[in-house]
Amino acid sequence: MKKKIAVVTGGAGFIGSHMVDLLLSKNFRVNVIDNLSGGHRKNLKQHSKNPNFKFEKLDICKLKPKNKIFKNTAYVFHFAGIGDIVPSIENPANYMMTNVQGTINVLESARYAKVKKLVYAASASCYGITNKRVRENCKISLEHPYALSKYLGEKSVFHWNKVYGLPINSLRIFNAYGKRVRTTGAYGAVIGVFFKQKIKNKPLTVVGDGKQSRDFVHVTDVAKAFLAAAKTRYAGSIYNVGTGNPQKINYLTNLIGGKKVFISDRPGESKHSCADISKIKRELKWKPTINFKDGITDMLNEIQKWKDAPLWNPKKIKKATKIWFKLLRKK
């Protein structure tokens, strides 16, 4: 039986590399596109000798519509993009170029290749500051250019569905975490920051009082959600990807262990995030399977993998987020 082909943009990144792992385990042929600005080849080294795996170093901003890597592709999983809040405030045009125009380039390639489904990695940041459980039809509130760029990317995806009939689904990811997580970015970056601090026996830098909570969802569960969104008969849908069971930051630091230091709250951030996942459970028959404590324990067993990560302290954080406080401070 002929293997299905999948293209994973941003496949050397955190979530993208786990998507590659899952697809290859499911007997797909996988073509990865990544410019390695945020991803790393080491995230894919376990597949280097797999004949069903192909890597192409390519920037989606330079992607042409009839790129041969999309030929005969069944599914496209679009993770490529940039995801840090502060740099988006400093250089919004770069975010629009990558997360919007880059997404349009991927959409055009998928359209010309007549793919069966494109699944877009959207961001729960589109919900803005909210302290309640959010459903997919909740009000959109864009607090910074990163959130705007990801939402405009999502709107583009739905426009290609409406005008060109491209089959798509969009998954709004909450706080993904797990092995290979970065120490910067839009997902569970705080965990990597804490790990590096623990390695160096430095206090964990907790924003605010640590009582805020985040809907942490394990990256392997996220990858399974994307595959379910590709295989489903449903198209043109938005799904939240979380657990519906948020965890307090103080609980996370207690699991990691060590001293803590508390730093100022950041404007433009919610105290709590919580996904309503009833739609994805109902339509895609997906649900999270990894317990948060087990997921963190599994990461702690490999904590030395974060030894080369940058070390953050209160002074560095204050300097790095200065523009954040200046432009997004509460009125």
Domain limits at 162? 5-175+216-241
Q: Are 38 and 163 within one domain?
A: yes
Q: Is 278 inside a domain boundary?
A: no
Cα 185 to Cα 323: distance, rounded to the nearest angstrom: 17
Lowest mean pLDDT among 38-47, 68-77, 102-111, 178-187: 178-187
Q: Is 277 inside a domain boundary?
A: no
Q: Are 107 and 164 within one domain?
A: yes
Tell me the per-residue pLDDT of 174-232, one tens digit each, with 9 for 90 and over: 999 999 997 655 444 789 999 999 999 999 999 889 999 999 999 999 999 999 999 99
Nearest of 87, 118, 128, 39 to residue 321 by alpha carbon: 87
Q: Pairing state of beta strands 213-214 and 247-248?
A: antiparallel
pLDDT score recorded for residue 317: 82
Nearest of 185, 196, 156 to residue 84 by alpha carbon: 185
Q: Are 232 and 113 within one domain?
A: yes
Report, as an integer, the average pLDDT of 145-166: 98
CA distances from 140 to 41, 95, 147 (A): 35, 19, 10
Q: Is 283 inside a domain boundary?
A: no
Report, as an integer, the average pLDDT of 100-112: 98
Above 90 in pLDDT, residue 327? no
Above 80 in pLDDT, residue 141? yes
Lowest mean pLDDT among 61-75, 228-242, 265-279: 265-279
Local confidence band at 312 (pLDDT 50, 70, 90 cut-offs): confident
Q: Is 145 inside a domain boundary?
A: yes
Q: Is 58 inside a domain boundary?
A: yes
Higher pLDDT, 117 or 314: 117
Report the domain count for the chain: 2
Cα 215 to Cα 79: distance, rounded to the nearest angstrom: 20
Could you tell me the CATH number of the domain that includes residue 105? 3.40.50.720
Q: Is 63 inside a domain boundary?
A: yes
Report, as an integer, the average pLDDT of 46-50: 97
Could you tell me the CATH number of the domain that includes residue 199? 3.90.25.10
Q: Are 56 and 184 within one domain?
A: no
Q: Are 20 and 162 within one domain?
A: yes
pLDDT score recorded for residue 188: 46
Residues near 56 by Cβ (< 8 Å), separated by ≥ 6?
31, 32, 33, 69
Report, as an integer, the average pLDDT of 247-255: 97
Q: Is 158 inside a domain boundary?
A: yes
Q: Are 299 and 188 within one domain?
A: yes
Report, as an integer, the average pLDDT of 107-127: 98
Q: Are 141 and 259 within one domain?
A: no
Share of the chain above pLDDT 90, in %: 83
Cα 249 to Cα 207: distance, rounded to the nearest angstrom: 9
pLDDT score recorded for residue 203: 96
Report, as an integer, the average pLDDT of 241-255: 97
Q: Are 85 and 199 within one domain?
A: no
Query: What is the radius of gyration, based on Cα positions, of the chain?
Result: 19
Q: Is 34 inside a domain boundary?
A: yes
The catalytic site residues sit at 146
pTM: 0.94
Cα 304 to Cα 322: distance, rounded to the nearest angstrom: 30
pLDDT score recorded for residue 322: 78
Local confidence band at 324 (pLDDT 50, 70, 90 cut-offs): low
